[in-house]
């Protein structure tokens, strides 16, 4: 994974799955912390090839598909992003028909509409509202679903101010998601999504000029993963430098 692309991952890769197998979860977590997206791709390809009808398996698969698509977009691999987005939308369609977790389904749908816009900005006037509506519905269906808040926060973060976007409001929703995730030990143990959320909160504080709060979240991450290179070698020293200016 190129370093430039890695910097984009924390903002984009914000999703979670309540039920994930230990093996895949651990391997993906290791790939995230050690900056090995080739390994990430291998895992989702293997999962796609052995695609099961099991709801939990499909929730896990779409989580990792979502993450890989974000990395592809961040690294301008648009053809590959489009390929995996097609696969992910098929996965979420199966989950939607099952109707077991429609809050999570709508969270992913909100994200995927955003990806379509990321691949083609001309689509924004036609499907942007669908992303917003799906994120709002996700929260309405389950107020304990962190991903619904994360997706709504992402929309606020990236939406231009002239159209109602607000990074301050985005931060509020990210913090709600953090509290919800921390209520469930499974969502904060060896979970790349949790580290990702902490990073995006730190980055948002930094964008808003609140560097001490940003540093506090980066230090929180390093207590969990002291050798997380991206945070240890890049984000942390960069934020300290900004604070001293």
Write down the domain spans for the chain.
Answer: 3-192
Residue 106, C-beta contacts closer than 8 angstroms, at least 6 positions apart: 134, 135, 137, 138, 141, 148
Q: What is residue 2's predicted lDDT score, i.e. its pLDDT?
A: 38
Q: What is residue 163's predicted lDDT score, i.e. its pLDDT?
A: 86
Asked if residues 148 and 138 have their Cβ atoms less than 8 Å apart, the reply is yes
Task: Give me the residues of the chain with pLDDT under 70, please.
Answer: 1-23
Residue 52, C-beta contacts closer than 8 angstroms, at least 6 positions apart: 58
Asked if residues 178 and 198 have their Cβ atoms less than 8 Å apart, the reply is yes
Determine how many CB atoms are found less than 10 A away from the CB of residue 201: 25
Q: What is residue 22's predicted lDDT score, i.e. its pLDDT?
A: 54
Determine how many CB atoms are found less than 10 A away from the CB of residue 126: 12
CA distance 79 to 25: 26
Q: What is residue 105's predicted lDDT score, i.e. its pLDDT?
A: 97
Q: What is residue 107's predicted lDDT score, i.e. its pLDDT?
A: 97
């Amino acid at each position: 994974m190129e370093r430039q692309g890695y910097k984009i991952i924390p903002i984009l890769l914000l999703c979670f799955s309540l039920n994930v197998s230990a093996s895949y979860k651990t391997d993906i977590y290791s790939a995230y912390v050690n900056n090995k997206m080739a390994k990430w791709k291998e895992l989702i390809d293997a999962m796609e090839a052995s695609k099961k009808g099991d709801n939990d398996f499909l929730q896990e698969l779409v989580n990792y598909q979502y993450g890989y698509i974000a990395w592809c977009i961040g690294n301008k691999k648009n053809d590959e992003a489009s390929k995996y987005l097609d696969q992910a939308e098929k996965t979420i369609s199966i989950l939607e028909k099952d109707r077991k977790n429609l809050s999570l389904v709508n969270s992913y749908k909100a994200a995927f509409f955003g990806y379509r816009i990321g691949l083609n900005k001309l689509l924004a006037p036609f499907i942007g509202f669908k992303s917003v509506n799906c994120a709002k519905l996700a929260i309405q269906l389950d107020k304990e679903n962190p991903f619904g808040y994360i997706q709504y926060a992402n929309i606020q973060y990236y939406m231009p101010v002239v159209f109602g976007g607000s990074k301050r409001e985005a931060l509020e929703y990210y913090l709600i998601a953090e509290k919800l995730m921390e209520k469930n030990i499974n969502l904060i143990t060896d979970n790349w999504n949790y580290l990702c959320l902490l990073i995006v909160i730190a980055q948002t504080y930094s964008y808003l000029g609140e560097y001490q709060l940003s540093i506090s979240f980066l230090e929180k991450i390093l207590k969990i993963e002291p050798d997380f290179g991206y945070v240890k070698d890049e984000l942390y020293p960069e934020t300290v430098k900004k604070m001293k200016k």
